Structure 1
């Protein structure tokens, strides 16, 4: 079964509110077995518009990644992020 990846590109507008999200999200990540492949670090746009922060999470499969996103735990964390950051998140199935 192919792995799945959640890719998030973020520009934080309210660091205090975003910190609450960042403190809560790992609970959901742990519950669904997410592995952090990239979080922050150096990046640059090769095409298109870049955001200041990029995160890549790996999951065992597509269904688990979707369950993570829709979970009570993640949605609670997400509630602190809304309005605190411009956020683009994509779920991708691996090869």
Structure 2
């Protein structure tokens, strides 16, 4: 079964408040076995447009990635993020095993 990924591009307007979101999302990410592959490292945009922060999180499979996003724990964390950031997020199934 292929792994799945959250791929997010985020523009943060208030870093201090965003840090409360990061603290709050630790519990659901641990519960669903999330593994950060990219977390806001340096980036170069070569085509199109992107927000300043890119995040890629790996999950065991698509169902687990979706369950994490839909969980009450993540929804509570997301409520902290929404007022201080703009994000584009896709949940995508990986290729192969």
TM, length-normalised to structure 1: 0.95
Structure 1 segments, 4+ long, off by >6 Å, are none
**Number of matched pairs:** 95
The equivalent of 1:38 in structure 2 is: 38
2: CA distance, partners of 1:94 / 1:50: 21
Q: Secondary structure at the match of 1:50?
A: coil
User: Which 5+ residue runs of structure 1 have no aligned equivalent?
Assistant: none
User: Which 5+ residue runs of structure 2 have no aligned equivalent?
Assistant: none
The equivalent of 1:56 in structure 2 is: 56
CA offsets per residue over residues 35-74 of structure 1, 9 Å max, x none? 1101011111121112111110000100000000010110
- The CA RMSD over aligned residues, in Å, is 0.8
Deviation at 1:16, TM superposition (A): 2.3
The equivalent of 1:75 in structure 2 is: 75
TM, length-normalised to structure 2: 0.93
